[in-house]
Amino acid sequence: MADQLHGIGVSPGLAAGLAYRVCEPPRLPAPTVVTDADAETARAAVALASVAADLDRRAASARDSTAGEILAAQAMMAADPVLLDMVGARIRDGADAGHALYEALAEFKRQFEAAGGYLAERAADLDDLRDRTIAGWLGLPMPGLPAPGHPYILVARDLAPADTATLDPEQVLALVTEAGGPTSHTAIVARSLGLPAVVRCEGATHIADATPIAVDGTTGRVEVGVDEAAIADTRHREQLRRQQLSRSSGPGRTADGHPVALLANIGSAADLTGPEADAAEGVGLFRTELLYLDRSAAPTLDEQVEAYRAVFEAARGRRVVARTLDAGADKPLAFLNFDDEPNPALGVRGLRLGRRYPDVLRTQLDAIARAAQATGGNAWVMAPMVATAAEAADFVAACRMAGLPTAGVMVEIPAAALRADTIVPAVDFLSIGTNDLSQYTFAADRQCGDLADLLDPWQPALLQLIAACTAAGKAAGKPVSVCGEAAADPALAPVLVGLGVSSLSMSARAIPAVRESLAAHTLADCQRLAQAALAATDAGAAREAVLGTALLGG
Amino acid sequence: MATRIVTVGSASGLHARPAALFVAAAAAQPVAVTIRTANKPPVPAKSMLSVLALGARKGTEVTLEANGDGAEASLDTLADLLVRDLDAEPADG
């Protein structure tokens, strides 16, 4: 009989196969007495060289250039002659190779952390390097992704970018992690690769390698020790699900024809290529940051016009909701000065930048207006991090000045949701950014894996704030959309629609599953599910109430 | 002793790709080059970990030093690399 584990389903789909765990980092054994320092140094050199070669290989096969560069930089650290000198000196002082490596890298880690900022974030790379080198020295397998030689289900405590950079979607059937949350790196990677995934699955790391398991990325259920028949059945159901999704097309609507626009989240015109983006009814979130990142000076008006033109042209008349620059001390830009904010998530970011740099926003709005005019694009504009009705009204006035007829604001701050009724009169629409709204509602940092349960988009408190926005929107006759991770969850989509959300924006890949889910529910079903979720005491109960009701109610 | 004092030009500072390009170029020089910032002792320019640990950002002034045949030419090459904005250049190098 199969054992059942439960986690949070964060990327829909079914998978069955043999589970393999990510290799845990080795533990440093007790120190040994070194009699031949030269031979011991040579062993350390061999371990470092093999790790450097391994990282170089992984850099060359990385899926994207950013991940490849991080791995290549890590390879250069392993090959660093100064590191080997430091290790040699410690071995001559009596340490064994493992402890010498450990101490030498700890020394650099202290320096990285003291430098702060970007370098402090890279300190984890040094821990990874230490684990790899010590594994090499001990003759253990490299920590990281397993390679059983056939497709498998990847099980881990949590996945680091270094793991997922080289993750081969042809070899990995599904992801199951014990830590992480709906907005974790694991969840985002799984959705972008279209792999079923369950996070926060307690007991997952106790699954022995090569155990047959079945994973449901919608319900979060993981069955451990399933038999051949169950594996075949799961695969058959997944095949049917995929066939149904590939046939799915057309605008989003409920079973009784209530329209719900299904839109794509994009970062540039390049994200609008491909059949999945073609099927989107428009762009619900155009993140304009890409144009501003990694530059020493602000992009000029002409440069911006060019980039926005490309997006409007690719959208071919469909709606494009552009979010104005969402930067701040947590996403710094070289040409804007940010104070060393002790708490950047609560600092001068998003629309608040306009308090210091009004020209940046003005230029951006002008550029969007010109690009829309030149292309006949259907441009909507919205501001991130709006807290008050006055901020919303000021932003809309600035948009009107620039000649942009459709202006709205994002709801990411609880104050804006609670007072949505005072905000809607001035704006043309609201768009709820559920990731930040969760973070600020639960006072839980999005990056903090230990708090992932609080950041679950099924939290009734979050749903209640969404309901406050839709009630205000309905009273004023203004549309309310959702553009966070919550919109991509096919089980949650009917709940959001039941709450009164009129459009959902997500990565284009997630649209077919959400479209099918909506098509299976009438608007009255959606409203019933929304009430059930709102009435629940916590996120788990809300999910159970909805999935249970959906199964019973068909 | 040949010396160059230059200001880091890359938007992200002497981190990530700019650091990798600089360290690789330093390792390819015929002479041993050191690099230091105002408040830190000189470190070998061919050491990725030491160069990163300097924590040099865009606008930080760094000093390059080398001795021996070819030192001047080597420092010219490396100084030129440091002042450029390597983040803004295509990644085919």
Residue A67 in this model has a pLDDT that exceeds 60: yes
Segment A69-83 mean pLDDT = 90
pTM of the shown model: 0.64
User: pLDDT at residue A416 above 90?
Assistant: yes
pLDDT of residue A550: 56
Report CB contact under 8 Å: A69, B15.
no
Complex prediction ipTM = 0.93
The rounded radius of gyration (Å) of the Cα atoms in chain A is 25
B23: contact with A, CB 8 A cutoff? yes
Determine the pLDDT at residue A229: 95
Residue for token pair 């070194």: A34
Whether B47 and A82 lie within 8 Å, measured CB to CB: yes
Interface membership of A340 toward B (CB under 8 Å): no
| Mean pLDDT on B15-37 | 92
Average pLDDT over residues A244-265: 91
Per-residue DSSP letter, B69? T
Closest-CA residue of chain A to B58:
A334
Tokens of A90: 């410690």
> What domains can you pick out in chain B, each with its CATH number?
2-87 (3.30.1340.10)
Q: Which residues in chain A touch residue B11, judged by CB atoms under 8 angstroms apart? A: 294-296, 334
Cβ atoms of A478 and A429 closer than 8 Å:
yes
If you average pLDDT over residues A351-357, what whole number do you get?
91
* Residue A112 Cα, gap to closest chain B Cα (Å): 5
Locate the chain B residue with the closest alpha carbon to A336.
B11
**Residue from A64, A69, A71, A82 to probe the interface with B (highest B Cβ count within 10 Å):** A82
Single out the catalytic residue among B4, B15, B78, B82: B15
Residues A335-347 have a mean pLDDT of 80
> For residue B93, what pLDDT band results from cuts at 50, 70 and 90?
very low
**To the nearest whole angstrom, how far is the Cα of A84 from the nearest Cα of chain B?**
10
Q: Which pLDDT does position B88 carry in this prediction? A: 75
Query: Looking at the complex, does the CB of residue A66 fall below 8 Å from at least one CB of chain B?
Result: no
Contact A82 B91 (CB under 8 A): no
Lowest-confidence range among A45-49, A229-233, A265-269, B45-49? A265-269
Binning pLDDT at 50, 70 and 90, where does residue A72 land?
confident
CB-CB neighbors (< 8 A) of A65 in chain B: 91
Under the banding of pLDDT at 50, 70 and 90, the label for residue B92 is: very low
Cross-chain Cβ contact A119/B48 below 8 Å: no
Supply the residues of A annotated as catalytic.
185, 483
Output the pLDDT for position A553. 41
Residue B18 at interface with chain A, using a CB cutoff of 8 Å:
no
CA distance to partner chain A, nearest, from residue B5 (Å): 21
The alpha carbon torsion through A353, A329, A507, A264 (nearest 10 deg) reads 10
Q: Residue A554 — pLDDT band, cuts 50, 70, 90?
A: very low
Collect all residues of chain A within an 8 Å Cβ-Cβ radius of residue B43.
82
Closest chain B CA to residue A112: B53
Higher pLDDT, A503 or A158: A503
User: For residue B88, what is the nearest residue in chain A, using CA coordinates?
Assistant: A295
Distances A74 to A67, A122, A166, B27 between C-alpha atoms, Å? 11, 10, 14, 16
**B-chain residues within 8 Å CB-CB of A117?**
55, 57
Confidence of residue A79 (pLDDT cuts 50, 70, 90): very high
Residue-wise pLDDT for A262-271, tens only, equals 999 998 898 8
A295 interfacial to chain B (CB closer than 8 Å): yes
Residue A334's CB is within 10 A of a number of other CB atoms, namely 21
Of chain A, the percentage scoring pLDDT greater than 70 comes to 95
Question: What does DSSP assign to residue A424?
Answer: G
CA–CA dist A413, A416 (Å, integer): 6
**Mean pLDDT on A144-149:** 78
Q: Mean per-residue pLDDT for A152-169? A: 80
Shortest distance, CA B50 to any CA of chain A (angstroms): 8
Residues A428 and A467: their CA atoms lie apart, in Å, by 18
Q: Could you confirm whether B15 is annotated as catalytic? A: yes
What are the tens digits of pLDDT across the range A107-144?
999 998 888 777 776 777 888 899 999 998 888 877 87
Q: Higher-confidence residue: A362 or A249? A: A362
User: CB of B42 within 8 Å of any CB in chain A?
Assistant: no
Chain B contact present for A292, CB below 8 A: no
- The beta-carbon contacts of A541-549 under 8 Å, at least 24 apart in sequence, are A542/A458, A542/A459, A542/A460, A542/A463, A543/A220, A543/A458, A543/A491, A546/A458, A546/A491, A546/A492, A546/A494, A546/A495, A547/A218, A547/A219, A547/A491
What is the number of alpha carbons within 13 Å of residue A390 lying toward its C-beta? 1
pLDDT at A489: 87
Q: CA–CA distance from A84 to each of A111, A235, B28 (Å)?
A: 17, 50, 18
**A116–B55 C-beta distance less than 8 A:** yes
Q: Write down the pLDDT at residue A414.
A: 98
Cα separation, B35 vs A37, in Å, equals 30
Interface test with A, best of B48, B83, B84 (most A CBs within 10 A): B48
Residues in chain B closer than 8 A to A111 (CB atoms)? 53
Mean pLDDT of chain A: 89
Say if CB A254 and CB A518 are below 8 A apart: yes
A324-339 average pLDDT score: 77
CB spacing of A334 vs B49 below 8 angstroms: no
Q: Say if the Cβ atoms of A118 and B53 lie within 8 Å.
A: no
Q: How far apart are CA A378 and CA A396, in angstroms?
A: 17
Mode of pairing for the β-strands spanning B61-66 and B2-7? antiparallel
Q: Do B88 and A296 touch (CB under 8 A)?
A: yes
Domains in chain A, please, with CATH?
3-22+145-244 (3.50.30.10), 37-138 (1.10.274.10), 248-553 (3.20.20.60)
